[in-house]
Amino acid sequence: MTDTPIVRLGNATGDTSAGGAPAGGAALAATVACICFGASVVVTRYVVPQTTPVVLAFLRYAIASVCMVALLRRAAFPPMPARERRQMAALGVLFFAVFPWSFSASLTHLPAATVALVVATNPLGTLALSAVRGTERLSTRLVTGQLLALAGIVLALPPLRTGTAGTDMWIGYAEVFTTVLCGATYNVLSRPLLLRYPSAVLTTHAMLAGTVALAPLALWQGLGAHTRTLSVAGWSAVVFLGTLGGALGFGLWGFALRRSTPSRVAVFLALNPITAIALGVVLLGEPLTVRLLLALAAVLGGIWLATGARAAR
């Protein structure tokens, strides 16, 4: 395999090799992506009662995959070693199958604002995984930021209940923390591939693999029946999740990861809860309490403390 097709494709998609500091394009891409992701929290919360988490995830990434292939056409499938195709597929199953399933499922048990706050700790998970891999160094500032963000999450979580309601909440917590773990793992492990291939190529391959992995489960859960019973508004929500919340959001996220480092890009996920909480209050009628605002401040403060100075440098 020669590197010529890869270099030419990289130039065509506007990607460049990552430098030591985040480029302006990476910051803008991460910002737009995270606004799309924050809106997706609320949209998912709205539409998931009309279907199932697995069916919704399949529809979302089937639409996103079609959009990516239609945009890139033959350029989406450059020559590459079979080993790297398998790596992309494995990352795709993790990020575009397990991640969306656990994310959608958590929204059936917890409010959108709570889910968004927990997902906002992804930068800390990314830093922790990078530290384990030896690419990030732990510091007093980092540990303090992690503890502050954790305190914000604890403050945001609704009071524990007993019986069936309590079990339902714990299931939601387990699902949303699975989402955080999947996101952090993808951020870190996708980096070597993003240095070799354009972000759009990795995103397309990963999305296709995730969609294929979800297909049998979606069929088993009655995909055909759910597509017939979705309302017009429900289909509008699914299309939004597949286009702006799928192809555009994750395409820009991959672009930002290629132009910068995982921890520097992940810090922009602090925009998720801001967007989700605002839209949850306006569109879903979720309450905006002092407790929630204090939790949001603690989470954002912890993320800034842990990653802000690093990003600025």
What are the residue ranges of helices labelled H in the chain?
A: 4-12, 24-47, 53-72, 82-93, 99-106, 112-119, 122-132, 140-156, 163-189, 191-194, 199-220, 223-229, 232-242, 249-259, 262-266, 271-283, 290-312
Task: Indicate whether 22 pLDDT > 60.
Answer: no
**What is the average pLDDT across 2-20?**
40
Say how many C-beta atoms besides its own lie within 10 A of residue 267's C-beta: 26
b/e burial code for range 144-175 (CB count within 10 A of at least 16 → b)? ebbebbebbbebbbeeeeeeeeeeebeebbeb
The answer to whether 42 and 240 are in contact (CB under 8 A) is no
Amino acid letter, residue 4: T
Task: Indicate whether 83 pLDDT > 60.
Answer: yes
Cα gap 244→214, rounded to integer Å: 20
Q: According to the per-residue pLDDT averaged within each range, which of 10-14, 39-43, 285-289 is highest?
A: 39-43
The answer to whether 176 and 23 are in contact (CB under 8 A) is no
The answer to whether 91 and 210 are in contact (CB under 8 A) is no
Task: Indicate whether 66 pLDDT > 50.
Answer: yes
Q: Which residue has the higher pLDDT, 102 or 130?
A: 102
The structural domains of the chain, with segments of one domain joined by +, span 23-312
pLDDT confidence of residue 23: 52
Say how many C-beta atoms besides its own lie within 10 A of residue 81's C-beta: 10
pLDDT confidence of residue 156: 64
Between 11-25, 112-126, 148-162, 194-208, the lowest mean confidence (pLDDT) is in: 11-25
**What is the average pLDDT across 11-15?**
42
Name the pTM for this structure: 0.72
Q: Which residues, other chains included, contact 77 with Cβ-Cβ below 8 Å and sequence gap of 6+?
A: 201
Amino acid letter, residue 207: M
pLDDT confidence of residue 270: 67
Task: Indicate whether 207 pLDDT > 60.
Answer: yes
**What CA–CA distances, in Å, run from 86 to 22, 90, 179, 225?**
29, 6, 22, 33
pLDDT confidence of residue 292: 74
Closest CA to 292 of 118, 105, 43: 118
Q: Which residues, other chains included, contact 267 with Cβ-Cβ below 8 Å and sequence gap of 6+?
A: 123, 303, 304, 307, 308, 311
**Each residue of 210-258: pLDDT tens digit?**
999 999 999 998 888 888 888 999 999 999 999 998 889 888 888 887 7
**What is the average pLDDT across 94-114?**
85
Q: Which residue has the higher pLDDT, 166 or 239?
A: 239
pLDDT confidence of residue 106: 87
Task: Indicate whether 18 pLDDT > 50.
Answer: no
In this structure, is the dihedral angle defined by the CA atoms of residues 127, 131, 136 and 140, taken in order, positive or negative?
positive
Task: Indicate whether 21 pLDDT > 50.
Answer: no
Report the chain's mean pLDDT, rounded to a whole number: 78
Task: Indicate whether 137 pLDDT > 60.
Answer: yes
